Structure 1
Amino acid sequence: MRTSDFNFESPLDLLAKFPSKERDESKLMVIHRKSKKIEHKFFKDLHQYFNEGDTIILNNTKVFPARLFGNKEKTEAKIEVFLLRELDSKDRTWDVLVDPARKVRVGNKLNFGYGLSGEVIDNTTSRGRILQLNFNGTHKELIEKIKKIGKTPLPKYINRNPEKEDKYRYQTVYAKKEGSVAAPTAGLHFSKHLIKKLEIKGVNLVEVTLHLGLGSFLPVEVEDISKHKMDSEKCHINIKSCKIINDTIKNKNKVCAVGTSSMRAIESSVSSNKNLNPFLGWTNKFIFPPYDFSIANSMITNFHMPKSTLLMMVVAFAGFELIMNAYKIAIKKKYRFYSYGDSMLIL
């Protein structure tokens, strides 16, 4: 398939700039792959589709306040710095994106205030830089300072300063392991009340960790999708989670991946007999059609942007015609798209 196959008229008026009033009151489209039936529910109805012995896989990554605003030394030009990942804690070097990039060159010094500054020591891409941070304190104190002055990294399309509510709502209720620069958005719909309902029914809620970068959210720029390269993201799957998931597969119960990040994590560590192995490392797994999924037989995902790797994975899981038809219905019925938008359950 070609990248252009995944293009559609982007519903700009349906891009969700704010979360739903309550997490689990967002809309949920339920898609049955075998019958092609489509139902329209609310996310709080999710527990109706799972039974005792089923397993739901959650990505417990936690969003890091990765957006900093500083000023260039001498010119005082305002520069936005997006911290992608720490490269070396000893040297305090970070892989970052800068905006406007044309104003930031090697050797430039940036002042963020509160005793924190940095120097650009290398270029990586047109917008990418290596930034060495300067701070008079320990590494732990440096991270705490970044958390204090950094802003919640809302997607650019929201185009507003993060509000108090965003610090809570752009984070899943089960977030634990800090390291993402974007939220695993399918998980934002889970409320503590819904989780309790699932637990009472005997549904296993299993956690994995995949720290999201920005690469997954960028449109694919090559027409031959097989030539697209994903950015690497750090992933951790422990032995306990593997056992529960593998037992669920053995018992022929539902295994549901919450979000494309959970799906990418589990598909990155599959044994030859299609069981899940423990994993600690980096994955650049790119899932696009055709693809034979090994672990999950259902998934929850938001409505994604045209030509994105996220949409390609969903199509690989449920089929091109079914998903593209579902998107047409979603637009017609005013489902909300993207990070704070509504979701679909694919069975």
Structure 2
Amino acid sequence: MKRSDFDYDLPPELIAQHPLAERSGSRLLCLDGASGAVEHRRFHDLLDLLRPDDLLVFNNTRVIPARLWGQKETGGRLEILIERLTGIDTALAHIRSSKSPKPGSRLLLAPAQGAEPGPYSLEVTERVGPLFALRSPEGQPLSEILQVIGHMPLPPYIERADEAEDQNRYQTVYAEREGAVAAPTAGLHFSEAMLAELEERGVERTFVTLHVAAGTFQPVRVDDIEDHPMHAEYVEVGEAACEAVARTRARGGRVIAVGTTAVRCLETASAAAGEPQPYCGDTDIFIYPGYRFRSIDAMVTNFHLPESTLLMLVSAFAGRDTVLAAYREAIAQRYRFFSYGDAMFITPGPQAEGSV
């Protein structure tokens, strides 16, 4: 399939720039992948769409304040976006500057864009493809530096600087495992009160971990999507999550992934045996139409960028034409798009069933 097969026209004013006042106050477009039927609801209505025997699978990654500003010792300004923490005092990062810093150079960090550098710095140790390996001096934990002067790494389509509200709202209420540089945005809609109500109704939940990397925003640049080199992200699927899926299958319930990151976790863990097995390591799984899903019966997800790998994943689940028709309906109904936007509840099309 071609990259252009996943294009659509989105009015820029529909890209949400701020979260709503209430987490669960967003809209919910319900898409039946089998029939293409669309229903317009509110996110809180998800309570009525779930059954007592269902299982929700959440990604419990926690976003780190991964954006840093500073300058080279020679004075050139730069922006650093941590891709992943590789150790207590080391990381891989993207760096934007007029000239790329060389190994051995020192980066002087500032508390804000355009500000004068403070007491913190990083050393460039080597170039790793498009990334730079960084080390903090004298073994100082990099996470401590980020907590003091780091900024929440809002995605590029949010055209504003991060604000105080983003410290809380660009983070799920169940975020626990620190390491992501982008939020698993489908989970942003769940409030503590809604989670409590789901528990009262007998809907089980379990957690997996995928540390979302900055590569999630990298565009597909090749025409033939099968030639796209998928970025790798760190995944953990524990025994508890695997047992929860098995219990759900045994009682006839549905496994519902909250977000494409949870989908990628479960599908990675199911690759060997056809059902989730404990897994810990990187995944570069790329799901696009033609893929047969092993592990999920439905998903909650936000709306995704044109020609993105995430839109391709959703299209594999519910059908490309069906998904794009639903997107056109969402645009006509003035839904809010992307990270701080509205959500979808999707059941599969016939092409998603079975095994690879």
Q: Does 1:130 align with 2:151?
A: no
Could you tell me how far 1:107 is from its partner in structure 2?
4.0
- Which is worse superposed, 300-309 or 158-167? 158-167
Q: Does 1:28 align with 2:28?
A: yes
Counterpart code for 2:119: G
Counterpart code for 2:82: L
Counterpart code for 1:133: S
SS in 1 for 2:222: coil
How many Å separate the matches in 2 of 1:199 and 1:312? 32
- Which is worse superposed, 110-119 or 161-170? 110-119
How many Å separate the matches in 2 of 1:243 and 1:103? 47
How many Å separate the matches in 2 of 1:42 and 1:254? 21
**Cα distance change on mapping 1:283 and 1:272 into 2, 3 Å:** closer
**CA shift digits 1:99-138 (9 cap, x unpaired):** 1253534443211144321222333345x3222322x464
Could you tell me how far 1:341 is from its partner in structure 2?
0.7
**CA shift digits 1:11-67 (9 cap, x unpaired):** 311111101110100110001122322110111111101111100100000001101
Q: Is the 8 A contact 2:53 2:202 kept in 1?
A: yes
Alignment match, 2:285: 285
How many Å separate the matches in 1 of 2:86 and 2:271? 30
For normalisation by structure 2, the TM-score amounts to: 0.91
**CA shift digits 1:291-346 (9 cap, x unpaired):** 11011110011111111000000000000111000010011111111111111000
Alignment match, 1:237: 237
Alignment match, 1:208: 208
Counterpart code for 2:107: L
Q: Does 1:170 align with 2:163?
A: no
Q: Which runs of 5+ in 1 are unaligned?
A: none
**Cα distance change on mapping 1:281 and 1:101 into 2, 3 Å:** farther
Q: Percent identity?
A: 40
Alignment match, 1:311: 311
Could you tell me how far 1:189 is from its partner in structure 2?
0.5
Alignment match, 2:16: 16
Counterpart code for 1:132: R
Runs of 4+ in 1 over 6 A off after TM superposition: none
Q: Which runs of 5+ in 2 are unaligned?
A: 110-116, 348-356
Count of residues paired in the alignment: 340
Could you tell me how far 1:87 is from its partner in structure 2?
3.0
**CA shift digits 1:65-121 (9 cap, x unpaired):** 10111122132x3211111123344xx332111112535344432111443212223
How many Å separate the matches in 2 of 1:238 and 1:143? 25
Q: Does 1:96 align with 2:93?
A: yes
Q: Is the 8 A contact 1:216 1:230 kept in 2?
A: no
How many Å separate the matches in 1 of 2:139 and 2:129? 30
How many Å separate the matches in 2 of 1:87 and 1:41? 42
- Which is worse superposed, 244-253 or 176-185? 244-253
How many Å separate the matches in 1 of 2:127 and 2:10? 33
Alignment match, 2:43: 43
SS in 1 for 2:99: helix
How many Å separate the matches in 1 of 2:122 and 2:43? 44
SS in 2 for 1:288: coil
Q: Does 1:109 align with 2:125?
A: no
How many Å separate the matches in 1 of 2:118 and 2:224? 47
Counterpart code for 1:26: S
- Among 110, 113, 124, which residue is 1:120 paired with? 124
How many Å separate the matches in 2 of 1:144 and 1:279? 29
Could you tell me how far 1:271 is from its partner in structure 2?
5.9
Alignment match, 2:251: 251
Alignment match, 2:3: 3
SS in 2 for 1:182: coil
CA RMSD of aligned residues (A): 1.6
How many Å separate the matches in 2 of 1:123 and 1:149? 24
Alignment match, 1:82: 81
SS in 1 for 2:165: helix
Counterpart code for 1:14: L
- Which is worse superposed, 107-116 or 294-303? 107-116
Could you tell me how far 1:279 is from its partner in structure 2?
1.0
How many Å separate the matches in 1 of 2:228 and 2:50? 35
SS in 1 for 2:199: helix
Counterpart code for 2:197: K
Could you tell me how far 1:175 is from its partner in structure 2?
0.4
- Which is worse superposed, 191-200 or 248-257? 248-257
Q: Is the 8 A contact 1:109 1:119 kept in 2?
A: yes
**How is 1:64-79 mapped onto 2 (pairs within 5 angstroms)?**
64-75=64-75, 77-79=76-78
Alignment match, 2:146: 146
Alignment match, 1:60: 60
SS in 1 for 2:172: coil
How many Å separate the matches in 2 of 1:314 and 1:151? 30
Q: Is the 8 A contact 2:53 2:252 kept in 1?
A: no
Q: Is the 8 A contact 2:10 2:331 kept in 1?
A: no
How many Å separate the matches in 1 of 2:136 and 2:273? 46
